[in-house]
Amino acid sequence: MNTWELRGDEGSFELHGRLDFDTVPAVFAETERLFAGRGDVHIDLSGVDCCNSAALALLLEWRAEAGRRRRRIGFRKLPEALIAMAQASELLHLLEA
């Protein structure tokens, strides 16, 4: 059983469940789906109930992938734990851009 779910299409997605070392590789496998459309990508993370540094690495990699594809990506409703990790790493500006 999955402990995460990525809902949506056409550039607007919601991520739900756990984002940790066990789940992030499978979530990352959805990268092509995220960028399948032509417009910007928006991901709502309000449904993420557990995360660790693997989640931060995932979002940073998605941001880098958006740059490689000359696209913009936006993250909404970041979990407090993810915000705290990004602030401690001085990376929050990359997630808020």
pLDDT value at 1 more than 60: no
What are the structural domains, with CATH classification, of the chain? 4-96 (3.30.750.24)
pLDDT in tens, 56-93: 999 999 999 999 999 999 999 999 999 999 999 999 99
DSSP 51-81: E-HHHHHHHHHHHHHHHHTT--EEEES--HH
**3-state DSSP assignment of residue 85:** helix
pLDDT value at 42 more than 80: yes
Q: What percentage of the chain reaches a pLDDT higher than 70?
A: 97
Sequence-separated contacts (24+) of 5-9 with Cβ below 8 Å: 5/47, 6/30, 6/33, 9/33, 9/36, 9/37
Rounded to two decimals, what is the model's pTM? 0.92
Q: Output the CA angle 8-11-12, nearest 5 degrees.
A: 45
